[in-house]
């Protein structure tokens, strides 16, 4: 137990010092990765010595940040030539220095570009114990090509992908896009690159990040990052009966503020909350097993910038005695909202409390035709507060329709139209008082905003009123007088057939 405690302390001190354990050398830029990476290198006579040298530099730049070892990343090279050749087995070089030297020492073989034959050879070596490959780790194939092959690649490439190998293709020549996009893993925009040999450094980071998505899948990972939390996931190493996990985390600039928590061996994830925004945390997961030894896993995580809430306040669905207040965004760090409202011209105000997961509320029991000042305040878990205000106006009691207008349709017919009234209108009533002839009353649904008035005698002045109908009462009517022009002497409307 003392040895395990010393190990945990050692890991934490190494994080604080920015170093790995003795004998591991300087800390690599990327750790917590595990996989076998195979480079399929075009070593044929179709590639110039200059291009071959630039591709070797690219290969080393691509893997340089990785940690190499039997529990980390292993790599190898297969030459594409007349006969495929493996430069070295996966498990021969297990440090950055030896891998770098091995890549530098790789010599071009010349010969034909038998890529299909090399792919079949790669399928054997990627899953061969004799070649140093490991079972149950992610397999990655990186094929750097000038776009030309002397034999068919489709069948052996498909077999590799069917066996779970993730295929990345880098074309430095004029390769056939349709052929190469079919050969690469999907989607091609993530796994296929066309680039001049002198511009290979441009794609190095993008390609490395895509490879990391594959080889980090079975290690400690972080998902669901917010300004105040993130969730850690890891493979099932223990069980309820075989041990537990110790998890330690602290800001990189204040490792003395380390926090420790423990979860049972049945767990494979844990959410860390109440964290500071825009802060980088060092995290160490230590599996404590009473059967096997598992090395600690570490990861570095940066929380997001804190969302400021409320960033906007919206007023909607205004009625004579109520309106709705909405706001955004609603970050996890907010525990509750306070909505303070009162007449703009007055000294009284009322307060509503709203849960932090909600983004709207309805304010009721208001006076009609009144302007209110509404202030929404976010209460953060840290104790901070942020407020934003907006003005809101209630509707008049029984809102009027607007813009009543008329159009002569001929044949003693008049079209009356209006704009919709505000609020929840149940319908409209149109009353026409004719100078000669009987009055009429027409009721229409709330979706209809015009009616035809017939039997409008020429030369008469008539009164038309439109009322919007509400649940409680009708509105005040909007009325207009309209004069029907007399017919010109000798003119009669043409009768419709």
Residue 331 corresponds to which tokens in the numbers above? Answer: 């970050």
pLDDT reported for residue 308: 81
Residue 117 corresponds to which tokens in the numbers above? Answer: 């034959």
Residue 354, φ and ψ in degrees, nearest 5: -130, 140
The per-residue DSSP string of 303-325 comes to: PPPPPPS-SEEEEES--SS-EEE
Distance CA 413, CA 51 (A): 87
Closest residue by Cα to residue 40 from 220, 240, 180, 224:
180
Neighbours of 207 (CB within 10 A): 20
What percentage of the chain's residues is helix, strand, coil (to nearest 5)? 20, 35, 45
- Please list, in sequence order, all residues whose beta carbon lies within 8 angstroms of the beta carbon of residue 307, skipping any fewer than 6 positions away: 227, 329, 331, 333
pLDDT reported for residue 298: 84
pLDDT reported for residue 207: 93
What residues pair up with 77 in beta bridges, in sequence order?
39, 88
pLDDT reported for residue 488: 66
Q: What is the pLDDT along the chain (497 residues), one digit of tens a residue?
A: 444 444 444 444 444 443 333 333 443 456 667 889 999 999 988 888 999 999 999 999 999 988 898 888 999 999 999 999 999 999 999 888 999 999 999 999 998 989 999 999 998 888 888 889 988 788 999 999 887 778 888 899 999 888 888 999 999 877 788 888 889 988 888 899 999 999 999 999 999 988 887 886 456 778 788 888 899 988 777 888 889 999 999 999 999 999 999 999 999 899 998 898 889 999 999 988 888 777 788 888 999 887 787 889 999 988 888 999 999 888 878 899 999 999 988 888 999 999 999 999 999 999 888 999 999 999 988 788 899 999 999 877 666 788 899 999 888 899 999 998 877 788 999 999 999 989 999 999 999 999 999 999 998 999 999 998 887 666 778 899 999 888 766 544 444 33
Neighbours of 38 (CB within 10 A): 24
Residue 338, φ and ψ in degrees, nearest 5: -115, 130
Residue 462 · residue 482 · CB < 8 Å: yes
Q: Where are the alpha helices (DSSP H) in 281-436?
A: none
CB burial of residue 246 (10 Å; 0-12, 13-18, 19+):
middle
Neighbours of 280 (CB within 10 A): 12
Residue 497 corresponds to which tokens in the numbers above? Answer: 């057939």
Distance CA 417, CA 364 (A): 33
pLDDT reported for residue 29: 54
Residue 16 corresponds to which tokens in the numbers above? Answer: 């604080």
Residue 374 · residue 339 · CB < 8 Å: yes
Closest residue by Cα to residue 30 from 96, 92, 89:
96
pLDDT reported for residue 14: 46
Helix (H, G, I), strand (E, B) or coil at 123: helix
Query: Does a cis peptide bond (omega within 30 degrees of 0) precede residue 439?
Result: no
Query: Does a cis peptide bond (omega within 30 degrees of 0) precede residue 187?
Result: yes
Distance CA 372, CA 282 (A): 49
Residue 103 · residue 60 · CB < 8 Å: yes
């Amino acid at each position: 137990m003392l040895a395990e405690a010393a190990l945990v302390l050692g890991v934490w001190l190494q994080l604080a010092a920015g170093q790995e354990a003795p004998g591991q050398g300087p800390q690599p830029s990327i750790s917590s990765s595990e996989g076998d990476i195979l480079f399929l290198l075009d070593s044929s006579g179709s590639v110039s010595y200059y291009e071959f040298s630039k591709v070797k530099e690219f290969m080393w730049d691509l893997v340089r940040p990785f940690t190499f070892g039997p529990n980390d990343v292993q790599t190898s090279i297969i030459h594409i030539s007349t006969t495929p050749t493996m430069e070295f087995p996966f498990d021969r070089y297990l440090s950055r220095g030896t891998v770098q030297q091995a890549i530098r020492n790789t010599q071009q073989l010349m010969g034909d570009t038998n890529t299909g034959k090399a792919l079949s050879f790669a399928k054997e070596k990627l899953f061969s114990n004799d070649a140093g490959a490991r079972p149950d780790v992610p397999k990655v194939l990186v094929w750097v090509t000038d776009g030309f092959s002397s034999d068919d690649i489709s069948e052996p490439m498909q077999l590799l992908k069917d066996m779970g190998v993730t295929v990345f293709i880098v074309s430095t020549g004029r390769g056939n896009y349709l052929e190469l996009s079919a050969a690469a893993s999907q989607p091609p925009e993530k796994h296929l690159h066309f680039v001049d040999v002198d511009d290979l450094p441009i794609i190095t980071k993008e390609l490395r990040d895509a490879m990391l998505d594959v080889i980090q899948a079975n290690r400690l990972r972080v998902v669901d990052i917010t300004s105040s939390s993130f969730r850690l996931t890891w493979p099932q190493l223990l069980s309820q009966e075989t041990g537990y996990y110790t998890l330690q985390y602290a800001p990189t600039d204040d490792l003395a503020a380390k926090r420790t928590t423990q979860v049972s061996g049945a767990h494979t994830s844990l959410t860390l909350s109440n964290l500071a925004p825009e802060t980088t945390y060092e995290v160490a997961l230590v599996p404590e097993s009473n059967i096997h030894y598992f090395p600690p896993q570490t990861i570095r995580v940066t929380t997001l910038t804190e969302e400021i809430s409320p960033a906007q306040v919206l007023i909607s669905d205004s009625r004579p005695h109520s309106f709705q207040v909405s706001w955004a965004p609603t970050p996890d760090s907010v525990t509750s909202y306070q909505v303070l409202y009162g007449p703009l011209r007055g000294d009284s105000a009322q307060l509503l409390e709203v849960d932090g997961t909600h983004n709207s509320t309805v304010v009721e029991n208001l006076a009609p035709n009144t302007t209110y000042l509404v202030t929404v305040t976010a209460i953060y878990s840290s104790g901070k507060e942020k407020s934003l205000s907006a003005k809101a106006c209630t509707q008049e009691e029984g809102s009027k329709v607007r813009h009543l207008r008329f159009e002569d349709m001929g044949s003693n017919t008049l079209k009356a139209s209006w704009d919709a009234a505000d609020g929840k209108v149940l319908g409209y009533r149109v009353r026409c008082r004719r100078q000669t002839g009987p009055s009429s009353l027409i009721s229409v649904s709330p979706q209809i905003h015009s009616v035809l008035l017939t039997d409008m005698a020429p030369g008469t002045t008539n009164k038309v009123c439109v009322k919007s109908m509400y649940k409680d009462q009708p509105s005040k009517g909007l009325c207009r007088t309209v004069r029907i022009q007399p017919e010109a002497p000798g003119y009669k409307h043409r009768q419709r057939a």
